[in-house]
Chains A and B, each alone.
Chain A
Amino acid sequence: MRAVNLRLIAGLGLLAIPLLAHHSFQAEFDAGNAVTITGVVTKLEWTNPHAHFYIDVKGPDGKVENWNLELASPNVLRRLGWSREIFKIGDTVTVFCARAKDGSNLASARTVMLPDGRKMSAGSLADDPPSGK
């Protein structure tokens, strides 16, 4: 179970918040602060109203930080073909996500790339991460 080096790419630049902006999403996450992070899965919480999974992310200084990634509700994920077995503790995943406004290690996951290379949408209409990473 080796923690993977962090590659943190901040997608800067403001984007127009679409009309579908959910009020409490905007109060919690910054859609304009999107990052891609890679880490090792430590936990999956398959609960409503949001499923969460946690990954250990290792920085270049060797320090490991645990990140909390928020997903849609299990109801939504199931209808998109996810299951609770989608990844295991110890899997390495890469997540494109929007950071929480309170600066914590919390982000709203948009897409998750699994160890076998499959890219799962967390249910959003997000575009792919910007090229050049």
Chain B
Amino acid sequence: MLGLTVACISATAQVQPEGGGQALAALVHLQSKSTAAPPRLSDGKPDLSGIWGPDVHFMYDISSALKPGEALPLQPWALKVTRERMSKDDPEANCLPLGVPRMSPYPWKIVQTGSLILLLHEGNMHSYRQIFMDGRGHPKDMDPTWFGDSIGKWDGDVLVVDTVGFNDKAWFDSAAHPHTEKMHVTERYRRVDFGHMDFDVTIDDPGAYTRPFTLYGHSHLLEHTEIMEYVCVEDRQQDLVHIVGKDARK
């Protein structure tokens, strides 16, 4: 300690916790306000290509993405795990993947062709997802992965993505909600106009939840920016040693 006379201030010092707050604030001025019709590819399908903003309801607690009044239908063991997990063990804090549908407070990019849609995520660990649009099914024998295997098709102007093959390692959110390898995710994306996209995510995981549930989200198109490199592990050790709850033996 510095041994100073401390002037106590009666007014509260407002400090917004960083991370999401800072990163999200940096994107607000980039949001498109356009309500023009969404563009289409030459085959007439909606073109979802662009740089898109994150939805805060998919970051800290996915309960906030449920319909109002609903609660996550956790099985008892899953609720216990949620309560016992510690921040220092969050895969996100250790530069491991967010999985699906968790988001980081950074832009993501959709690159769309007729047979393949790529989702490029700037944040977390600079990851990608492939959505195969060529009519293939899921492989018969998959090793469980953080992002699973995704196949997609159009339902009118809605992109429907079916994903299976998840491992159980990703946390749904900072609140530490778990999932299992049984998880089956259905995402539906609709570009409502040029600058706005609605999406919903149905989670069907009989290993951790008592019934399927659906999360609702929204992204703004971001303009005058590009996704940037973000190598999470570059200096991660510097943060990890300060997180309360570290291994005291180190």
A: residues with CB less than 8 A from B are: 6, 8-15, 17-29, 31-32, 34, 45, 47-50, 52, 57, 59-61, 63, 65, 70, 72-73, 75-80, 98, 100-102, 104, 106, 108, 110, 122-127, 129-133
Q: Is B192 an interface residue (CB 8 A)?
A: no
Q: Cβ of A25: which chain B residues have Cβ within 8 Å of it? A: 17-19
A-B contact pairs, 13 of them (CB 8 A): A10-B7, A13-B10, A13-B12, A15-B13, A22-B17, A24-B92, A47-B234, A49-B95, A61-B3, A75-B123, A76-B22, A80-B25, A124-B16
Most buried by B among A25, A59, A133: A25
Instruction: Give the number of chain B interface residues (Cβ < 8 Å).
Output: 56
Query: Would you give the shortest CB distance from B94 to chain A, in whole angstroms?
Result: 10
- A20 vs B14: C-alpha distance when bound (angstroms): 13
Q: How many A-B residue pairs have CB under 8 A?
A: 194
Q: Please tell me if the beta carbons of A24 and B90 are within 8 angstroms of each other in the complex.
A: yes
B: residues with CB less than 8 A from A are: 2-4, 6-27, 30, 56, 60, 64, 86-88, 90, 92-93, 95, 106, 122-123, 174-176, 225, 228, 230-232, 234-236, 238-239, 242-245
Q: Please tell me if the beta carbons of B56 and A20 are within 8 angstroms of each other in the complex.
A: yes
Q: Cβ of B16: which chain A residues have Cβ within 8 Å of it? A: 18, 20, 31, 110, 124-126
8 closest A-B pairs by beta carbon, nearest first, are: A11-B13, A123-B22, A22-B19, A23-B174, A34-B13, A27-B87, A127-B14, A13-B12
